[in-house]
Amino acid sequence: MVLKQRKTVLIVSALLTAQMVMQEAVQAFEEVSQPEVQITETAQEGELVSQSDGDDIWTETYTYVSDTNTPHAFAETIEKQGDWYAMKDVEYQVTELTTQLIQKSEAMWAYASYEPEQEIEEAGIRYTLTSLSKDEWMQTDRLKNVTKYLSCQEGQEVSETLDVETADEVTGEALYGTIGRIELKEDGADWKEGALEEWDIYSWNGESWVYQRNDECFYATEESPWFEGYEAVFMQEHHLDGAFNQITSIEWYGDGWQDEEGNWKRSVRITGNKMVPRYQAIYSGDVAQPDLPMVCYKAQYTSDPQGYLITADVTYEKMQEEAVQKEENADESILKSISEELIKTLQQNKTNEKFWYLLLAALMAVSVGLQVAVIFVLAFRER
């Protein structure tokens, strides 16, 4: 019986110790869970201030810096000069420490639509639009540079100036002006229609019209001077290259006529295309644009606060002795209730008592360390 009571005392002692450790752990966790702040106490010199209503008040002032402006968890009760005080009120004074300002400017036509961004982000910092202003003015001496390219062929007249039509760069209004030629350069070659024009003469032999080349004779009809192979004969006779000359038409040019010797002759006109050099004419100049009403919007953005300076006035009210005793009794009652519930549970599970001792040993090892666990093991061995 004595041994059993001894074991029960050991269990209760270990449980109470574990409860104290758990309370310390919870308090430490609550402190760590609060925003990281550095609190410098500038509390008044612990003087009790008697109020007109007769209550005893203790006031402490804390100043600290925090990343957020959330309330800080101050102690609910404190002990000063042997007396206990309960928190009555906390008043905060919050000052935003650092903010950054940036300004975005955008100039545009006065009649263009503009809607500034309400929020922007730069270098990982978020900014919010705080003000918007605008300046108005008239933009004068507006010139638009215009450049035109024209292709021309050999023999084609190229003017020194060029009349152009363009549009206002902002409003789109039609503009007219004259620009000058600044360059004329070769740009390859191209076919020029109708550039080939040559003449041949046929003779009448009493029966038909004949085209004679050296000792060869080629015969034509009354309808057309064309004959098989004429183009090759023509190119050789006129010393032309077929790669740069194209015959598109061959026809009789008028009726027959007699030469000085009385021989009948007939003229033939050959026309076609000729490959000629191509040139590029470049024109460039400024065209005047009308004056334009303008506006410049200036949007100012303010960053989110980069920290807060917080002053907290914590007011405590003196607790009556009855309240202090009641709170202490409540704590003892809770511990006693836990102890009784634990012992009752062990008594109801005698058949598996070994398991409960081992389980409690494991829990105590986590809560209060190896020393308490050893106590449980020794208690079990003495059984």
pLDDT band at 66 (very low <50, low <70, confident <90, very high): confident
Contacts of 33 (CB under 8 A, 6+ apart): none
Asked if residue 33 belongs to a domain, the reply is no
* Six-digit token string for 166: 């363009």
CA distance 189 to 279: 8
CB 89 within 8 A of CB 316: no
Judged against a pLDDT cut of 70, whether residue 77 lies above it is answered with yes
What average pLDDT does range 251-261 have in this prediction?
Answer: 93
Is the pTM higher than 0.85?
no
* Six-digit token string for 255: 């009726």
In the predicted model, what is the mean pLDDT of the chain?
A: 79
CA distance 155 to 162: 19
What average pLDDT does range 62-91 have in this prediction?
Answer: 88
Identify the burial level of 225 via C-beta atoms within 10 angstroms of its C-beta, where 0-12 means exposed, 13-18 middle and 19 or more buried.
buried
* Six-digit token string for 272: 């076609």
Asked if residue 242 belongs to a domain, the reply is yes
Asked if residue 261 belongs to a domain, the reply is no
Angle ∠(322,324,328) on CA atoms, nearest 5? 115
Q: pLDDT of 311-370, one tens digit each? A: 999 999 988 876 666 666 665 676 677 667 666 765 665 555 554 455 554 455 445 444
Q: pLDDT of 143-194, one tens digit each? A: 999 999 999 988 889 999 999 999 999 999 999 999 999 999 999 999 999 9
Predicted confidence at residue 354, as pLDDT, reads: 53
Asked if residue 16 belongs to a domain, the reply is no
Asked if residue 82 belongs to a domain, the reply is no
pLDDT: which is higher, 46 or 286: 286
Could you give the number of structural domains in the chain? 1
CA distance 325 to 344: 28
Asked if residue 376 belongs to a domain, the reply is no
CA distance 383 to 260: 161
Write out the chain in H/E/C secondary structure: CHHHHHHHHHHHHHHHHHHHHHHHHHHHHHHHHCCCCEEEECCCCCCCEECCCCCEEEEEEEEEEECCCCCCCCCCEEEECCEEEEEEEEEEEEEECCCCEEEEEEEEECCCCCCCCCEEEECCEEEEEEEEEEEEEEECCEEEEEEEEEEEECCCCCCCEEEEEEECCCCCCEEEEEEEEEEEEEEEEEEEEEEEEEEEEEEECCCCEEEEECCEEEECCCCCCCCCCHHHHHHHHCCCCCCCEEEEEEEECCCCEECCCCCEEEEEEEEEEEEEEEEEEEEEEEEEECCEEEEEEEEEEEECCCCEEEEEEEEEEECCHHHHHHHHHHHHHHHHHHHHHHHHHHHHCHHHHHHHHHHHHHHHHHHHCHHHHHHHHHHHHCC
Asked if residue 84 belongs to a domain, the reply is no
CB 203 within 8 A of CB 209: yes
Predicted confidence at residue 5, as pLDDT, reads: 46
Asked if residue 240 belongs to a domain, the reply is yes
Range of the domain at 187: 99-197+209-247+274-304
